[in-house]
Chain A
Amino acid sequence: MDWTQYLNPLMQGALVTIELTIYSTILGAILSFAAGIGKTARNPVIKVIAATYIEIFRGTSLLVQLFWLYFALPVAGQAMGIDLRLPPVVAGVLALSLNIGAYGAEVVRGAIQAVSKDQYEAAKALNFTPRKTLWRIALPQAIPEMMPAFGNLAIQNLKDTALVSLISLSDLAFRAEQLRNFTQDSTTIYTMALFMYFGLALVLTAMMKLLERYVSRWRVGAR
């Protein structure tokens, strides 16, 4: 079979991969901020919840989290009389974003805590509330610092989406596997899949760079 014939099914898979990456990166970013800010909170309850979430999802395997959400949760739900069956896309996006969110939370926490004490003192002297200090003074300075690490996490997230093929989501990895079973043309198919992941990663890196430039625009020429 000619390699061009693989292109269409692989492209369809790539679309699913893109979709999964976008959803889980966005949801993961939201979770990162929620848990990262939560960990810097003065309220001990919020702090413990954030820390527990981070440790659990950093300390367990993404594959097991995925299987747990997809296979174990419905069974647990059944025992309690609740329908907790998740569609594969939802289970996949949830597992990916919960995982990436836990790593991202540490990035957010670190960047917030790296904002200099002087800035917090200036905010206090001007009578900003702690909440406004966070949103208006600390975060705008911390976000540019987070961007390189966020870029890495987004790429990692893109590659991790391949795991969802194991819960029968027809992403790029799933399509490649399917074609290989059918044609036995492993070299061509997996080489194409490699290049497609690589291409997606390049686009994602470029997008993160643009985002980084946007959130750091006030720093132009500084340092």
Chain B
Amino acid sequence: MTEPIIKFDKVVKAFGSFVVLNKLDFEVKPGEKVTIIGPSGSGKSTVLRILMTLEPITDGVVYVDGQPLWHEKSGDGSLKPAGEPHLRKMREKMGMVFQQFNLFPHMTVRRNITEAPIQVLGIAKSEARDRANELLEMVGLTEHADKYPHQLSGGQQQRVGIARALAMRPKIMLFDEPTSALDPELVGEVLNVIRKLAEEHDLTMLLVTHEMNFARQISDRVCFFDQGRMLEEAPPEELFTNPKEQRTREFLKAVLEGN
């Protein structure tokens, strides 16, 4: 039994009186590829944003790689809210791909990828450049290295976004609806890159998406979220063909008919 690399223990996230995550229990094992699906407002993106430390939690404990993410142990062993140094250390473990890409518009594609390794990890420029070239080849953008983000299509920008996150060598990759902002004909190229990553690397991957077919192909496990809780989880074949919960059936029916 391997220890989970991500563990949510009765996590509550509330904005004022609006509860986004309602005592969520959720685990991901190292190397596992997990997809979260669910209606909007079900809290699925919030899970990723909490992990990336973009959103603090209201209650409960999140563990990443065996350590509490939003807490640190004080002298007597009890948990206290984490300070910035702890959060910085924890952030190193994760990389995030955003729905809107969030590339740095004033930097070339290559610099988007090398900037954080150089400035944050202190890697030598030449080394960062070599690594960026490898990543650009992996995402098929070698010839666009010296362009600026606005000169690329959405699909190309998102592939840069993936390369940029990978350049920090995270253990866990978080994908927050990576294809939702793309024109339909550009979705495939991004999914292919993510698929390749899933097949060739032992990265832990947590993906929020509406691409059900894709989720089915690459996931070890699919989780259905509804109203701030995980209502059902199962291997993709099982969840998509034989969902146990009424809500899951309704959601899948609505989504698949919509396509």
B192 interfacial by beta-carbon distance below 8 Å: no
Query: What residue of chain B has the Cβ atom nearest to residue A222's Cβ?
Result: B150
Interface of B is mostly: loop
Choose, from A90-98, A106-114, A120-128, A189-197, the stretch at the interface.
Answer: A120-128
Q: Report yes or no: B54 in contact with A221, Cβ–Cβ below 8 A.
A: no
Q: Report yes or no: B106 in contact with A218, Cβ–Cβ below 8 A.
A: yes
Number of interface residues of A (CB under 8 A): 20
The total of Cβ contacts below 8 Å across the A-B interface reads 64
A136 / chain B contacts, CB cutoff of 8 Å: 115, 119
CB distance from A128 to the nearest CB of B (A): 6
Q: Report yes or no: B98 in contact with A126, Cβ–Cβ below 8 A.
A: no
Query: What residue of chain B has the Cβ atom nearest to residue A122's Cβ?
Result: B102
Indicate which residue in A119, A127, A219 contacts B102 across the interface (CB closer than 8 Å).
A119
A209 interfacial by beta-carbon distance below 8 Å: no
Query: What residue of chain A has the Cβ atom nearest to residue B99's Cβ?
Result: A118
A170 / chain B contacts, CB cutoff of 8 Å: none
Query: What residue of chain B has the Cβ atom nearest to residue A135's Cβ?
Result: B119
Q: Report yes or no: A140 in contact with B151, Cβ–Cβ below 8 A.
A: no
Q: Report yes or no: B148 in contact with A118, Cβ–Cβ below 8 A.
A: no
Q: Report yes or no: B168 in contact with A126, Cβ–Cβ below 8 A.
A: yes
B53 interfacial by beta-carbon distance below 8 Å: yes
A65 interfacial by beta-carbon distance below 8 Å: no
Indicate which residue in B91, B104, B120, B150 contacts A122 across the interface (CB closer than 8 Å).
B104
Q: Report yes or no: B116 in contact with A221, Cβ–Cβ below 8 A.
A: no
Q: Report yes or no: B92 in contact with A118, Cβ–Cβ below 8 A.
A: no
A140 to B106, CA, bound (A): 7
Q: Report yes or no: A127 in contact with B106, Cβ–Cβ below 8 A.
A: no
B96 interfacial by beta-carbon distance below 8 Å: yes
A119 to B92, CA, bound (A): 18
CB distance from A82 to the nearest CB of B (A): 42
A132 interfacial by beta-carbon distance below 8 Å: yes
CB distance from A114 to the nearest CB of B (A): 13
Binding site for B on A (CB under 8 A): 118-119, 121-122, 124-129, 132, 136-137, 140-141, 218-219, 221-223
Binding site for A on B (CB under 8 A): 52-54, 88, 91-92, 94-96, 98, 100, 102-107, 115-116, 119-120, 148, 150-151, 164-165, 168
The 3 A-B pairs of least Cβ separation, nearest first, read: A122-B102, A126-B116, A222-B150
**26 A-B residue pairs with CB within 8 Å:** A118-B98, A118-B100, A121-B52, A121-B54, A122-B102, A124-B53, A124-B91, A125-B52, A125-B54, A125-B91, A125-B94, A125-B96, A125-B98, A126-B116, A126-B168, A128-B119, A128-B120, A129-B120, A140-B106, A218-B107, A218-B148, A219-B106, A221-B150, A221-B151, A222-B105, A222-B148
